[in-house]
Amino acid sequence: MSVIEIVRFAMRGLIANRLRSLLTMLGIIIGIAAVILLTALGNGASVYIQSQIAGLGANSITVLPRQPPETAGTDGRPLTSADARALADPQGAPDVASVSPVVTLSATTAAGRATSDVTVVGSTPSYFSGANVQMGTGRFYTDADVEAGRKVVLLGRTVADDLFGAGSDPVGQNVLVDDVPFLVIGTLAPAGQGQGLSNPDENILAPLTAVQGSLTGFGNLSQIVVQARSTEAQAAAESEINSILDRRHGIDGVDARDYQVISARQLADVLDQTLSAFTLLLAAIAAISLVVGGIGITNIMLVSVTERTREIGIRKALGAPPSAILGQFLVESIILSVVGGILGVAVGYAGTLVPLGDFRPVILPAAVVAAVAVSAAIGIFFGAYPARRAARLRPIDALRRE
């Protein structure tokens, strides 16, 4: 009695009840497809978010002023240029590579009759690498521009398009920023999607001194962008920033802080944790449907054994050993679940071809392998009980059954 014969008997049994076999398989197909699709969704979201975060600048840390909680009893101090200078101290903050004080304001730019509402970002040249700014045309402003307070400006792509026409190169032209003339020295590469809070395509970048001198006055900073020496040094840089600012602002507890430190690393960590918890939840829900599918197999195999009790009796009378009967029914349930599993992978794969918003689901190869292995295991586990019941039937009892 070879395995081939057992498989042939099992196939015959399944084909004799085509519709029922198909419906039973459907439970497994849906379960496996759900697992594949949902883990692919979680994975796709993770891949997408990682790529977005990479765009923020890998080593950059942003310090923002914050309203301390009411229990602190003060309104807190603003961030100042002196704070920025203190962070640039190589003694106190050895892991900091560069510090860029930033002022921002909303303004209206105009060139001829065209106008555009923008965010003006005034800073120093280190900001370009700190905030991962990509140049389109022209040049960046330099330390010399900052020292001299030159009114030069780089336009985000949307601003350039609004003021000078789509795809234009306005280098050498003048624009009015809240009625103050600035010379355009370059444009930024289109950033596409918004990164973080504001859309960089709607920003214009000018030297800090020029913005303070002609637009905001020499007051407080909107933020300080710090670059760590390396990705590994980022955590150390963050704690150096915290201790320097805590000392300068006279803060004695984390809760009382009047500033907050945000980094791409923190963001990535938090999002990653949230996402993997979410993915796990989705996979668990999908796994429940898989268990339900497995119980469906047990159920239908029990029906099948009961229905074919007489046939089992005949086979036993003709000399089928218990192992052959066990094999026949076990192989039936394994075929049901494995074919269901493979079809489920196919359906899940087809599902991932549908784009959802900005990101596409990314199938984990491990999930495919696991899905097929799990479906085979389901066949064995959920088929074992009915198959053993069939194998254990006493020939005479089986034959007597109507």
Partner 1 sequence: MTVSAIEGVGEVEHVLDVRGLSKVYGEGETAVHALRDVDFSVRRGEYVAVIGQSGSGKSTLLNMLGCLDAPTSGRYLLEGLDVANLDERQQAVLRNRQIGFIFQAFNLIPRTTALANVELPLVYAGVGRRVRRERAEAALSLVGLEGRSDHRPNQLSGGQQQRVAVARALVTTPALLLADEPTGNLDTASTTDVLGLFDRLHEAGRTIVIITHDDEVAARAERVVVVTDGRLTEAARR
Which residues of this chain interact with partner 1, rule CB under 8 A?
1-2, 5, 12, 16, 310-311, 313-324, 394-396, 399
| 139 or 394: CB nearest partner 1 | 394
| 82 or 317: CB nearest partner 1 | 317
- Which structure tokens are listed for 305? 């054994």
Long-range CB contact pairs, 195-201, < 8 A, 24+? 195/52, 195/55, 195/56, 196/56, 198/119, 199/156, 199/158, 200/133, 200/156, 201/156, 201/157, 201/158, 201/159
Long-range CB contact pairs, 136-144, < 8 A, 24+? 136/160, 136/186, 136/187, 136/188, 136/189, 136/190, 137/169, 137/171, 137/186, 137/187, 138/169, 138/171, 138/184, 138/185, 138/186, 138/187, 139/185, 139/186, 140/186, 141/185, 141/205, 141/206, 141/207
- Which structure tokens are listed for 99? 């510090």
The nearest distance, CB 322 to partner 1, in angstroms, is 6
Task: Answer for the pair 258, 22: CB distance below 8 angstroms, yes or no.
Answer: no
The nearest distance, CB 382 to partner 1, in angstroms, is 25
The nearest distance, CB 17 to partner 1, in angstroms, is 10
The nearest distance, CB 336 to partner 1, in angstroms, is 19
Cα separation, 117 vs 107, in Å, equals: 6
- Which structure tokens are listed for 272? 């990653």
| 257 or 316: CB nearest partner 1 | 316
The nearest distance, CB 314 to partner 1, in angstroms, is 5
Cα separation, 143 vs 150, in Å, equals: 10
| 102 or 312: CB nearest partner 1 | 312
- Sequence letter at residue 221: L
The nearest distance, CB 283 to partner 1, in angstroms, is 41
The nearest distance, CB 313 to partner 1, in angstroms, is 8
The nearest distance, CB 335 to partner 1, in angstroms, is 18
Task: Answer for the pair 159, 204: CB distance below 8 angstroms, yes or no.
Answer: yes
Cα separation, 185 vs 145, in Å, equals: 11
Could you give the maximum distance between any two Cα atoms of the chain, in Å?
A: 106
| 257 or 389: CB nearest partner 1 | 389
The nearest distance, CB 21 to partner 1, in angstroms, is 14
The 10 Å Cβ neighbour count of residue 70 is 7
| 5 or 147: CB nearest partner 1 | 5
| 3 or 197: CB nearest partner 1 | 3
| 189 or 399: CB nearest partner 1 | 399
- Which structure tokens are listed for 270? 């938090």
Task: Answer for the pair 257, 66: CB distance below 8 angstroms, yes or no.
Answer: yes
152 phi and psi angles, rounded to 5 deg: -115, 155
- Which structure tokens are listed for 242? 């915290």
The nearest distance, CB 302 to partner 1, in angstroms, is 20
Q: Which of 328, 299, 315 is nearest to 16 (CA)?
A: 328
Task: Answer for the pair 74, 398: CB distance below 8 angstroms, yes or no.
Answer: no
| 226 or 325: CB nearest partner 1 | 325
| 265 or 316: CB nearest partner 1 | 316
